[in-house]
């Protein structure tokens, strides 16, 4: 019988703007009424099941702040406000944000919610919504307020509060009282969800573990040069080293965990599974007896460990507890089995509950046969909240079926990690723990790119200022300043810096990161240096645009005769590049682009039709073309002048028309490009030969010229 340790990891970054005490995004509240509540009640429905839950302290902090009302939830305030009293800005915000849910599983099943999404359009465009938001009635907005908050209520919430089911059946024409019912239930769940986990742990059915407080990549906080061990090829920032901060992030986590759950944690999921041998003494000092990380960290460590030199390393070494040593300290470890963990997180939803659960049980039983020893253990470690949106039923049947089969199978035993290590002292020893994370066994996501390195340099500079000047203020202000440093050390800011990942909220995360550092200076009675007001995110990598999703063939007449002419076109909103003050001075407000099988179409929308020259630059896979065309009221043409890659200029056939907007259609054959190719577009406006605007301000808009085959492949709605 093989032991199965299942750890569900719960984490949300710190969404609270420290200057206003406002949570700028609602995901802690919404995941509480869905994933967090569902996961503990699913386990309660199978009494024999044992599972471990890892709550990051920064998540727990926000649940508690929302429960106590010490921070405001901006999206909740948008929801509470009577629909008739919503400002234009608030209405546009609802149309932008209140469809941020899995469309297939949280919107499409509800006819009224789906109708509202279809009316808004599948691609939000802020410029268009400045006008179109007036087409929605107060009842439309009220139904949207209710549905966004109602759809996020998971299956456990609906069982505990049957009135949610009745509201789903009602479906539309909600009242303000209906809305209050939903939001009050959100508050009730926030007030109980952590207590539910505490009670389950007290009964012995679960174990809770923790993570360094603000979810930092702890080896990099200890010493950014540690990254050279696993990625020597990357350019790193000037060295930042704060072992004391690494220890404090752990101590704060342990203290909060004891306060919330009633006892100190024995186990740790290091942020993103990030470890280094120097952390082992810190774990021991904080009472952490065991930790989890990825299988890649184990095998890379074994190849570096002198004790294992010359030995054949069998993959089955993974399926046991390990003792990890550094100097005079040690901690036990379980290494995550990657394929089965990833199957639950990424692929189970694509299968029936029965097929997905059978797949897991089959492979776990196979491991029991090949491991064949009493201390054999397989650790399944994965995200415990984000995957459930992709299940039509929120994962209810899959989780219950998997738990039941796991408990009933004579070859498998679900066990808590504390129980496992109490019964099985590790026999295998790793004296050279690899320095790395669960992602590629390195830290490439969080350091090495220009933006990421700049963030680390800002932390180093700000922390040095704090160390030098902290004696000038009271103990209370010193503690607040250090808390701001610890918050800035969190991994989430660096996740979105650099080219690896991007979201429409990149700039918001950037602002929150720098605000933590700015507050250090403010707590010490100083003005923050101007450098902390400069955005780290580079505009060239953070463009606000939608890519084409359908072939378009609009009439080229300078008019937008119908919304459907450009339905499926890509759109770049120039207003989202800079501050609101500069936005009002822009001539070009938006750029639309797309193609059919024979031509590419580009449209420029203006605040007021100007006179001048519009210059389009198109870069294909092998060539760059620059095209100039005069624009002005009622200007049209059937050719454009093009600067060829060899430097010569020539005229090519085109359709150009300006009336309310400027529309340009160019045959693909004239540019020697075809559907399916990657294209980069930039647009300039010149007056008297002088460039007055360029969009994007840096870089270009990258998109694929669609073909029938790419449309079929990418179609998802």
Section 80-106 average pLDDT: 96
* 367 has pLDDT over 70: yes
Among residues of the chain, what percentage have pLDDT more than 70?
94
pLDDT of residue 79: 98
Q: Which of 52-56, 264-268, 593-597 has the lowest mean pLDDT?
A: 593-597
Structure tokens at 341: 């963990």
More confident of the two residues 190 and 689: 190
As a whole number of Å, the CA-based R_g of the chain is 28
Instruction: Give strand pairing partners of 592.
Output: 571, 603
Domain 545-714: what homologous superfamily? Immunoglobulins (2.60.40.10)
Burial 81-115 (b: 16+ CB within 10 A, else e): bebeebeeebbbbbbbbbbbbbbebbbeebebbee
| Ordered DSSP codes for 20-48 | TTEESS-HHHHHIIIIIHHHHHHHHTSTT
pLDDT over 90 (residue 20): no
Angle between helices 243-261 and 176-202 (to 10 degrees): 100
| Distant-in-sequence, close-in-space partners of 580: CB < 8 Å, separation ≥ 6 | none
pLDDT at 585: 53
Tens of pLDDT, residues 189-238: 999 999 999 999 999 999 999 999 999 999 999 999 999 999 999 999 99
Percent of the chain, pLDDT > 90?
Answer: 71
Q: What is the pLDDT of residues 397-416, one digit of tens each?
A: 999 999 999 999 999 999 99
Residue in this structure with the two tokens 């009424």, named with its chain if needed: 33
What pLDDT shows up at residue 645? 67
CA dist., res. 717 & res. 110, Å (int): 15
Report phi then psi at 265, rounded to 5.
-80, 145
Q: Supply angle C-alpha 366, 371, 372, rounded to 5.
A: 100
Mean pLDDT, residues 107-136 taken together: 93
Cα four-point dihedral sign 164, 166, 169, 171: negative
pLDDT tens digits, one per residue of 560-598: 877 678 888 999 887 655 432 233 356 888 899 999 988
Instruction: Report d(CA 679, CA 701) in Å as an integer.
Output: 8
Q: For residue 41, what are its two tokens?
A: 């009640």
- 588-595 and 599-606 beta bridge pairing: antiparallel
Interatomic CA distance for residues 199 and 201, integer angstroms: 5
On the 0-12 / 13-18 / 19+ scale of CB atoms within 10 A, 140 is buried
pLDDT score, position 691:
64
> What CA–CA distance (Å, rounded) separates 372 from 388?
33
CB atoms inside a 10 Å sphere around CB 624: 12
Per the model's pLDDT, the better-predicted residue between 240 and 690 turns out to be 240
Two tokens at 219?
A: 């080896």
| Confidence at residue 259, expressed as pLDDT on a 0 to 100 scale | 97
Q: Which residues contact 470 (CB under 8 A, 6 or more apart)?
A: 478, 481, 524
Q: What is the pLDDT of residues 253-262, one digit of tens each?
A: 999 999 999 9
Of the candidates 644, 649, 590, which has an alpha carbon nearest to the alpha carbon of residue 618?
A: 644
pLDDT at 373 over 80: yes
Which pLDDT score is estimated for 574? 78
Q: How confident is the model at residue 628 (pLDDT cuts 50, 70, 90)?
A: confident
Residue 566 main-chain phi, psi, to 5 deg: -115, 20
**What is the C-alpha to C-alpha distance for residues 137 and 141, in angstroms, rounded to an integer?**
6
Residue 543 has pLDDT above 80, yes or no: no
Six-digit token string for 244: 């004391």
Among 28-37, 158-167, 616-625, the range scoring the smallest mean pLDDT is: 616-625
Q: Helix, strand, or coil here: 382?
A: strand
Phi and psi (nearest 5°) for 258? -65, -40
Q: Kindly tell me if the per-residue pLDDT of 168 is higher than 70.
A: yes
- Reported confidence tier of residue 455, pLDDT bands at 50, 70, 90: very high
Within 10 angstroms of residue 356's Cβ, the number of other Cβ atoms is 22
Residue 125 three-state SS: coil
pLDDT at 717 over 80: no
* Cα–Cα distance for residue pair 65/85, rounded to 1 Å: 27
pLDDT at 713 exceeding the cut of 50: no
Considering the chain, what is the average pLDDT of its residues?
91
Give me the pLDDT at residue 573, please.
83
Cα separation, 402 vs 240, whole angstroms: 45
Long-range pairs of 111-119 with CB within 8 A, sequence gap ≥ 24: 111/171, 111/172, 112/143, 112/147, 112/171, 112/172, 113/143, 113/144, 113/147, 113/151, 116/140, 116/143, 116/144, 116/147
Which of the two residues, 680 and 283, has the higher pLDDT score?
283
Can you give the residue ranges of every domain in the chain? 7-202, 450-541, 545-714
Other Cβ atoms closer than 10 A to 345: 18
Q: What is the pLDDT of residue 145?
A: 98
Q: What is the phi/psi pair of residue 549, to 5°?
A: -130, -5
Report in angstroms the alpha-carbon separations of 406 from 359, 362, 394, 677: 12, 10, 20, 49
Q: How many Cβ atoms sit within 10 Å of the Cβ of residue 7?
A: 23
Is-contact 420 377, C-beta < 8 A?
Answer: yes
pLDDT over 60 at 639, yes or no: yes
Among the listed residues 203, 248, 201, 245, the one whose alpha carbon sits nearest the alpha carbon of residue 220:
245
Cβ distance 613 to 631 under 8 Å? yes
CA distance 179 to 98: 14
Q: What is the pLDDT of residue 540?
A: 46
């Amino acid at each position: 019988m093989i032991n199965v340790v299942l750890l569900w990891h719960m984490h949300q970054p710190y969404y609270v703007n420290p200057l206003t005490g406002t949570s700028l995004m609602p995901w802690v509240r919404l995941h509480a009424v869905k994933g967090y509540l569902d996961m503990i009640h699913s386990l309660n429905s199978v009494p024999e099941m044992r599972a471990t839950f890892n709550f990051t302290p920064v998540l727990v902090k926000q649940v508690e702040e929302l429960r106590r009302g010490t921070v405001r939830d901006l999206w909740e305030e948008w929801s509470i406000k009577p629909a008739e009293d919503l400002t234009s800005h608030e209405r546009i915000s609802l149309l932008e944000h209140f469809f941020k849910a899995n469309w297939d599983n949280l919107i499409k099943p509800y006819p009224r919610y789906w109708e509202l999404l279809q009316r808004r359009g599948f691609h939000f465009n802020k410029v268009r919504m400045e006008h179109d938001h007036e087409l929605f009635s107060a009842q439309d907005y009220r139904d949207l307020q209710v549905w966004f908050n109602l759809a996020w209520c998971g299956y456990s919430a609906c069982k505990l509060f049957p009135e949610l089911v009745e509201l789903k059946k009602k479906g539309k024409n909600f009242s303000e009282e209906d809305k209050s019912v939903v939001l009050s239930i959100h508050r009730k769940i926030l007030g109980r969800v952590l207590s539910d986990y505490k009670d389950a742990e007290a009964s012995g059915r679960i174990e809770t573990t923790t993570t360094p407080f603000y979810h930092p990549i702890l080896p990099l906080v200890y010493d950014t040069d540690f990254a050279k061990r696993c990625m020597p090829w990357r350019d790193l920032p000037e060295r930042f080293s704060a072992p004391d901060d690494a220890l404090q992030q752990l101590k704060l986590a342990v203290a909060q965990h004891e306060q919330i759950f009633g006892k100190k944690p024995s186990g740790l999921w290091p942020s993103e599974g990030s470890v280094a041998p120097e952390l082992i003494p810190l774990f021991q000092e904080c009472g952490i007896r065991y930790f989890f990380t990825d299988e890649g960290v184990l095998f890379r460590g074994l190849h570096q460990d002198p004790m294992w030199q010359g030995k054949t390393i069998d993959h089955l070494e993974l399926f046991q507890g390990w003792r990890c040593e550094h100097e005079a300290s040690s901690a036990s470890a379980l290494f995550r089995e990657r394929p089965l963990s990833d199957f639950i997180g990424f692929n189970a939803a694509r299968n029936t509950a029965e097929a997905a659960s059978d797949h897991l049980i089959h492979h776990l039983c196979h491991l029991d046969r090949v491991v064949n020893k009493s201390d054999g253990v397989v650790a399944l470690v994965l995200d415990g909240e984000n995957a459930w949106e992709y299940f039509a039923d929120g994962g209810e049947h899959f989780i219950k079926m998997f738990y039941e089969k796991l408990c009933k199978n004579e070859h498998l035993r679900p066990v808590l990690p504390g129980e496992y290590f109490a019964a099985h002292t590790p026999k295998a020893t790793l004296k050279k723990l690899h320095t790395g994370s669960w992602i590629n066994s390195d830290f490439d996501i969080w350091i090495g790119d220009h933006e990421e390195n700049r963030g680390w340099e800002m932390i180093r500079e700000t922390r040095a200022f704090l160390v030098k000047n902290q004696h000038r203020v009271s103990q209370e202000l010193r503690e607040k300043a250090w808390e701001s440093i610890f918050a800035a050390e969190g991994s989430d800011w660096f996740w979105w810096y650099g080219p690896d990942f991007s979201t429409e909220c990149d700039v918001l995360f950037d602002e929150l990161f720098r605000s933590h550092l700015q507050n250090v200076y403010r707590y010490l009675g100083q003005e923050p240096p101007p450098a902390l007001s400069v955005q780290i995110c580079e505009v060239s990598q953070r463009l606000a645009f939608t890519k084409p999703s359908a072939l378009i063939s609009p009439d080229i007449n300078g008019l937008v005769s119908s919304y459907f002419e450009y339905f499926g076109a890509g759109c770049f909103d120039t207003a989202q590049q800079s501050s609101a003050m500069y936005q009002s001075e822009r001539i070009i407000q938006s750029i639309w682009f797309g193609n059919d099988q024979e031509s590419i179409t580009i449209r420029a929308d203006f605040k007021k039709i100007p006179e001048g020259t519009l210059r389009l630059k198109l870069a294909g896979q092998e060539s760059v073309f620059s095209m100039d065309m005069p624009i002005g009221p009622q200007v049209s043409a059937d050719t454009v002048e093009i600067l060829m890659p060899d430097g010569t200029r020539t005229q090519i056939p085109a359709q150009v028309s300006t009336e309310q907007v400027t529309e340009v259609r160019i045959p693909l054959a004239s540019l020697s490009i075809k559907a399916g190719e990657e294209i980069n577009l930039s647009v300039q406006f010149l007056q008297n030969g002088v460039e007055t605007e360029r969009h994007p301000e840096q870089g270009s808009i990258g998109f694929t010229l669609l073909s029938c085959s790419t449309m079929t492949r990418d179609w998802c709605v």
